[in-house]
Chain A
Amino acid sequence: MQGVEQQIVTLIEANDPRALELIYDTYADQIYGFLLGRFSDRREAEEVLHRLFLAIATNREKLLKAKRLADYLFIMARNEVMDYYRELKRHPQISLETMEPVLVSADDNETNRQEETKSLSQALKALPADQRIVIWLKFYMDKSFIAMSKMLGISQNTAASRYRYGMEKLKTLLCKEQES
């Protein structure tokens, strides 16, 4: 990744917009995964990813000062999420009923789990955002609590306790769903 980061830096220094392509091809899927966990909604994740790349394009010189490009991009993504949430206060939020599942079966041959993916996606969406993202990062992005603490700007203990509380709440939500 260091080599790619250096290439991106070189392209930015040369004011070459191909830097955007390289950033996209290297980091977009990871950032999209992060945003998917943050919102538990595809459309919102796509919208914020779009905004993030516009921010990268207009503030590209700031990337040159970053110690680690990947970390800096996640911080930028977090800031875009916050801006988006601020705007959400003025606009209605997407309802649970209309949201699309953000998960698929881990077993590619198993295609008949739409109901489960839908109810799990909805239960995740119903969690407080801070708890949801920790659970998401652990299960669907394979991140340790140390990595989470860097990505989210919180301590490892905070990440671990959010995980515990989130799992308790998720269990309750899924049990309610099963009962109904």
Chain B
Amino acid sequence: MNFDELENFLKQFKRKPIPASMRDRILPAAKAAWLAGESQPSTYGWLWALAACIALAVVAVRVEDGFTKQSLAGISVTPRSDTVKEAIEDEYHLDYHVRLAAMSENTGDMNSFRILQKYRIRFVES
């Protein structure tokens, strides 16, 4: 079979048309999807509102936790806030300032490292 013969052979056939029953199978499902899609904006609206609330809450916490400086025995600590202070005191049952003083003197203490990491506390020479 050469190239022309193959072309002629292929031309002796045609593709099958779309089955008539497809219309009744496809369109009802597609229309249902269309109508279901109409309620999506309000659903998404609620989701967007929820996402916005979460984002605002996160920003508020970050702002509250961050970036004020307070001097402690020649050491500036940042970030610090009452939230961080209370969290450290609750979790480690230690006075915040005592704990900070210990951390500033003993940076090899793993417990201190965990606190530093968790609350993203950074010591800066004042």
Q: Is the CB of B26 within 8 A of A50?
A: yes
Interface residues as binary, B14-35 with A (CB distance below 8 Å gives 1, 0 otherwise): 1111110011011101110111
Evaluate contact between A36 and B16: CB separation under 8 angstroms: yes
| CB-nearest residue of chain B to A141 | B15
Q: Is the interface of A mostly helix, strand, loop or mixed?
A: helix
The complex places the Cα of A132 from the Cα of B73 at a distance, in Å, of 79
How far is the CB of B49 from the nearest CB of chain A, in Å? 21
Stretch at the interface among B4-12, B62-70, B115-123: B4-12
Interface range on chain A: under 10, 10 to 19, 20 to 34, or 35 or more? Answer: 35 or more
Main secondary structure of the interface of B (DSSP, over half): helix
Any chain B CB within 8 A of the CB of A56?
yes
Task: Given the known inter-chain contacts A17-B34, A53-B29, A54-B29, please indicate yes or no for A135 contacting B10, CB distance below 8 A.
Answer: yes
Q: Does A57 contact B13, Cβ atoms closer than 8 Å?
A: no
Which residues on the A side are within 8 Å of B36 (C-beta)?
58
From residue A177, how far is it (CB to closest CB) to chain B in Å?
A: 11
Chain B residues close to A by CB (< 8 Å): 1, 3, 6-7, 9-19, 22-23, 25-27, 29-31, 33-38
